[in-house]
Amino acid sequence: MKALAYFFTTLFLFSVTAAATEPIKPIPRTISYDREKAELGMVLFMDPKLSSDGTVACVSCHSFEHGGADPRPVSIGTHGKRGNANAPTVYNSYFNFRQFWNGRAKDLKEQAKGPLHNPVEMGMVTEDIERYLKSSEYYNEKFRKIYKKSPTHDDALDAIAEFEKALFTPNSKFDRYLRKETNLTAAEKRGYMLFKTLGCATCHNGINVGGNSFQKMGLIFPYPWNEKVPDRYSLTQAPSDKNVYKVPTLRNIALTAPYFHDGSAPTLEIALKKMAYHNLGFDLLDEEIEPLVAFLKSLTGESPSILKKDR
Ligand code: HEC
Ligand code: HEC
């Protein structure tokens, strides 16, 4: 009940202030990052030798062809092991207030330790990582140049985090609309209105249209709970934290199907219907889904410039 009261107070305050300020902020056009570190981080991100059986790299589950996310409902790690969650996008993850579905990592550097060591993802121990990096002429040279010493696990995490910082996707049609550089179609505009008036923006707001609070999946009508999911409950053991997750970003959402922590919604239409039912307590009409999808598509940004060959 407390969560509900809090939610409706927020919804109320939000509707009162929404007219004055837009709930969504554009992604900055540029972000300063260390180019050399980020390029080293990109090589590490794509290197399958950083996994115990030499087959899985970060990019295996965070695909640049799929908006930085995984097209499979749940990820598959080394030796074909299935995980329990859908891989969220790494694009714009720098703007999230915490990392992982349950926010267990405070930043990207801390996050990167997770998959490297997770036995169902890359399954490596620190010593193996350092031994491998030190055995490579390329890495030795790069780490010495950038970090002034031979490769360490900690510096590898630092470089990966710097690369992820560079994975931002500016200049979406919607951001250009916010900056008054372009206009939206009638459908996109209506979708944005619905997004605000139906209450989506109470949870999905800020630069990442999400990524800045924990909320319950199934706030109004409960969503099935599975003890293996990485929710807040798995960290706190508080019953009210079951199915509570970091609100995912809706940036580039048209590219990152399937949806939800369990990858159970194969299309945006299905995800929106479930979201409105479980978290707002009503069924969306078809004539609402169409404009909402049009609006969400306008959140697709430019692909990160660090990935472009002709940059
Ligand atoms: C086997 C698949 C797999 C591999 C390999 C993998 N990830 Fe992930 N990644 C996931 C899954 C699944 C999650 C969500 C897990 C959770 O929240 O409990 C995730 C979450 C993340 C997040 C958090 C995003 C957010 O919004 O919370 C980041 C950042 C990330 N991974 C980066 C990396 C990096 C860097 C590497 C390589 C060192 C990597 N991943 C390797 C599957 C993978
Ligand atoms: C009470 C907070 C809340 C409200 C209101 C809400 N959402 Fe969500 N949304 C979430 C949470 C939490 C998740 C993650 C759920 C999960 O993975 O199980 C989510 C997930 C999503 C996803 C899937 C994202 C992904 O990457 O998997 C979409 C799309 C989405 N919401 C759109 C909407 C739209 C459109 C509305 C309004 C009709 C809305 N949401 C209202 C909290 C909310």
State the average pLDDT over residues 226-250. Answer: 97
CA–centroid distance, residue 307 to ligand 1 (Å): 19
Ligand 2 lined by 217 (C-beta under 6 Å): yes
- Tokens 């707001």, residue located: 205
CA–centroid distance, residue 35 to ligand 1 (Å): 22
Ligand 1 lined by 73 (C-beta under 6 Å): no
CA–centroid distance, residue 226 to ligand 2 (Å): 18
For the stretch 256-265, pLDDT in tens is: 999 999 999 9
Ligand 2 lined by 299 (C-beta under 6 Å): no
State the average pLDDT over residues 55-62. Answer: 96
Q: Please tell me the predicted confidence (pLDDT) of residue 148.
A: 98
Cβ neighbours of residue 5 closer than 8 Å, sequence gap 6 or more:
none
State the average pLDDT over residues 161-175. Answer: 98
Handedness of CA 103, 303, 253, 65 (dihedral sign): negative
State the average pLDDT over residues 148-170. Answer: 97
Average pLDDT of the residues of the chain: 94
Atom of ligand 1 nearest to the CA of 103: 27
Ligand 1 lined by 208 (C-beta under 6 Å): no
Atom of ligand 1 nearest to the CA of 246: 27
Q: Higher model confidence: residue 115 or residue 291?
A: 291
Cβ neighbours of residue 197 closer than 8 Å, sequence gap 6 or more:
15
Q: Distance between CA 260 and CA 19 in Å, rounded? A: 30
Where does the pLDDT of residue 21 fall: very low under 50, low under 70, confident under 90, or very high at 90 and above?
confident
The preferred substitution site among 6, 7, 101, 204 for testing ligand 2, maximizing ligand atoms within 8 Å of CB, is 204
CA–centroid distance, residue 305 to ligand 1 (Å): 21
For the stretch 174-185, pLDDT in tens is: 999 999 999 999
Cβ neighbours of residue 300 closer than 8 Å, sequence gap 6 or more:
67, 169, 172, 173, 252, 253, 254, 255
Q: Distance between CA 134 and CA 246 in Å, rounded? A: 37
Q: Please tell me the predicted confidence (pLDDT) of residue 1.
A: 55
The preferred substitution site among 62, 79, 122 for testing ligand 1, maximizing ligand atoms within 8 Å of CB, is 62
Find the farthest-apart pair of alpha carbons in the chain and give their distance in angstroms, rounded.
60
Question: Is pLDDT of 309 > 90?
Answer: no
Q: Distance between CA 209 and CA 256 in Å, rounded? A: 15
Q: Please tell me the predicted confidence (pLDDT) of residue 2.
A: 59
CA–centroid distance, residue 83 to ligand 1 (Å): 11
Atom of ligand 1 nearest to the CA of 75: 2
Ligand 1 lined by 56 (C-beta under 6 Å): yes
Atom of ligand 2 nearest to the CA of 245: 12
State the average pLDDT over residues 122-137. Answer: 95
Cβ neighbours of residue 75 closer than 8 Å, sequence gap 6 or more:
61, 82, 83, 85, 86, 87, 121
Q: Please tell me the predicted confidence (pLDDT) of residue 19.
A: 44
Closest alpha carbon to 75 in 41, 28, 122: 122
Atom of ligand 2 nearest to the CA of 246: 12
Residue nearest to ligand 1 atom 41, measured at CA = 58
Question: Is pLDDT of 14 > 80?
Answer: no
Q: Please tell me the predicted confidence (pLDDT) of residue 10.
A: 65
Q: Please tell me the predicted confidence (pLDDT) of residue 119.
A: 87
Question: Is pLDDT of 67 > 70?
Answer: yes
CA–centroid distance, residue 88 to ligand 1 (Å): 7
